[in-house]
């Protein structure tokens, strides 16, 4: 945030886009930038509700929000970083190291498992090929008249 004084008029600028903002504004961002930042924070917050104790690297892998953005929220005091002692956990499928205790598979294996499940689902829903028309017969019981 920069403040410039032009003949007793103080002008604040947005930290992100450098637009002029009202001096009495509670935030250091213009309304447009603040809305975008708040949406990103809510996405992180929703992920942390589902997977508490996730690391910044895991949040980046799972949500696509860059690591440095998560760290900026930590630095601003909006997020609290908790030390994760369970960091050396391996993927149950390929054995690579995971960044979180919240998941059992790495993102690549989870995607492959999801594709395999979709493929199996499609195969189960597809109609079975009919080689021959089924024919039903019935047997008439004959009684011998003796």
Range of the domain at 110: 86-125
Residue 26 in any domain: the answer is: no
Crossing angle for the helix pair 67-76 and 56-63, to the nearest 10 degrees: 130
Q: Answer yes or no: is 117 within a domain.
A: yes
In a domain, 103, yes or no: yes
Is 62 within a domain? no
Q: What is the pLDDT of residues 18-51, one digit of tens each?
A: 888 877 777 788 888 889 989 999 999 999 888 8
46, 81, 83, 59: CA torsion to nearest 10 = 40
pTM: 0.54
On the 0-12 / 13-18 / 19+ scale of CB atoms within 10 A, 41 is: middle
Does a structural domain hold residue 146?
Answer: no
Domains in the chain, number = 1
Q: Give the tens place of pLDDT for each residue, 67-119.
A: 888 888 888 888 876 665 555 677 888 877 766 666 788 888 889 999 999 99
Residue 91, domain member (yes or no)? yes
Q: E strands, the chain, where?
A: 3-6, 9-13, 20-21, 89-90, 97-98
Asked if the structure places residue 109 within a domain, the reply is yes
Establish if 116 belongs to a structural domain.
Answer: yes
């Amino acid at each position: 945030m920069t403040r410039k004084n032009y003949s007793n008029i103080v002008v604040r600028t947005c930290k992100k886009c450098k637009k002029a903002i009202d001096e009495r504004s509670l935030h250091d961002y213009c309304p447009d930038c603040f809305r975008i930042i708040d949406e990103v924070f809510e996405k992180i917050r929703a992920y942390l509700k589902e997977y508490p104790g996730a690391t910044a690297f895991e949040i980046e892998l799972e949500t696509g929000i860059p690591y440095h953005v998560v760290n900026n929220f930590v630095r601003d005091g909006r997020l609290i970083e908790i030390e994760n002692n369970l960091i050396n956990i391996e993927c149950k499928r390929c054995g690579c190291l995971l960044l979180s205790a919240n998941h059992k598979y790495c993102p690549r294996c989870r995607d492959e498992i999801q594709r395999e499940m979709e493929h199996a689902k499609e195969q189960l829903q597809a109609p079975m090929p009919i080689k021959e028309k089924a024919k039903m017969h019935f047997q008439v019981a004959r009684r011998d008249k003796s």
